Amino acid sequence: MARQLNLILVGPPGAGKGTQAERLQADFGLAYISTGEMLRANVKAQTELGIAAKAHMDAGGLVPDELILAMTAARLAEDDTRDGFILDGFPRNLAQAQALEHQLQEEGRRITAALLIDVPDAEIVKRIAGRRVCIKKGHNYHVHYDPPKQVDVCDQDGSRLIQRDDDRPEVVLNRLLVYHEQTAPLVSFYDERGLLRRVDGMRAPGEVHDHIRALIATLLLEDSL
């Protein structure tokens, strides 16, 4: 039986993880798990989790591990993840990576690859400043790099495009700091396990997508040999 395709997208805020996840989800029909999207849905619905998470998110810090791990463990137990999944924004520190590894080991599953989308900080600031997301499903656009057909209207569902609360410049700088301090160590963590694959995130979205698909094709081929 073919192995599950279980992917992790790693990279700084605004590197293009969500942009690529949307395309990969369409290519491979994998369950898409974005902790940022799940948290924003909870904030919008004013759940207990959303209320507890909001201040951390607005400041650009990490939401406490116990909240994140309860949320992701429950999501990974859902049936649609059985054929494979894409994790976007999780794990985000070593404690989360170890907890994920433990959970998957217990279930006889494992990560296929951790894809690092590499983008320098100066570019991140430009990307986040121009990002717009739709209010309905969070589809991503950029005012210059990936504009919608009609200004401020989502191509996919016709809803209004807005700027995220945590995309304000002062918050972005803190998100970058948190990335370098807490998330960047995951690069060595997955490299030591032979799971890290690097992707040049400075290329256009279509080229980044082609590169990732080629990497996945190689992984699937290696798996079938």
Q: Give the binding site for ligand AP5 (CB under 6 A).
A: 11, 13-19, 35-36, 39, 56-57, 60-63, 68, 89-90, 92, 96, 127, 130-131, 140-142, 145-146, 166, 175, 201, 204-205, 208
Select the residue whose beta carbon is closest to ligand AP5 and give its number: 36
The least distance separating ligand AP5 from the CB of residue 38, rounded to whole angstroms, comes to 8
User: In terms of CB distance, is 156 or 223 closer to ligand AP5?
Assistant: 156
Instruction: Respond yes or no: is residue 198 known to be catalytic.
Output: no
Q: In whole angstroms, give the CA distance from residue 103 to residue 91.
A: 12
The least distance separating ligand AP5 from the CB of residue 112, rounded to whole angstroms, comes to 19
The least distance separating ligand AP5 from the CB of residue 57, rounded to whole angstroms, comes to 4
Q: Which of 17, 40, 127, 197 is catalytic?
A: 17
Instruction: Respond yes or no: is residue 164 known to be catalytic.
Output: yes
Q: Which of 92, 127, 132, 197 is catalytic?
A: 92
**Comparing C-alpha atoms, which of 151, 149, 145, 150 is closest to residue 130?**
145
Q: Which of 40, 127, 131, 132 is catalytic?
A: 131
Instruction: Respond yes or no: is residue 92 known to be catalytic.
Output: yes
Q: Which of 40, 132, 175, 197 is catalytic?
A: 175
User: In terms of CB distance, is 3 or 61 closer to ligand AP5?
Assistant: 61
The least distance separating ligand AP5 from the CB of residue 91, rounded to whole angstroms, comes to 6
User: In terms of CB distance, is 18 or 84 closer to ligand AP5?
Assistant: 18
User: In terms of CB distance, is 28 or 145 closer to ligand AP5?
Assistant: 145
The least distance separating ligand AP5 from the CB of residue 31, rounded to whole angstroms, comes to 16
User: In terms of CB distance, is 32 or 90 closer to ligand AP5?
Assistant: 90
Cβ-Cβ contacts under 8 Å for 87 (sequence gap 6 or more): 6, 7, 8, 9, 33, 35, 72, 100
Instruction: Respond yes or no: is residue 131 known to be catalytic.
Output: yes
Q: CB–CB of 201/119 below 8 Å?
A: yes
Catalytic residue numbers read 17, 92, 131, 164, 175
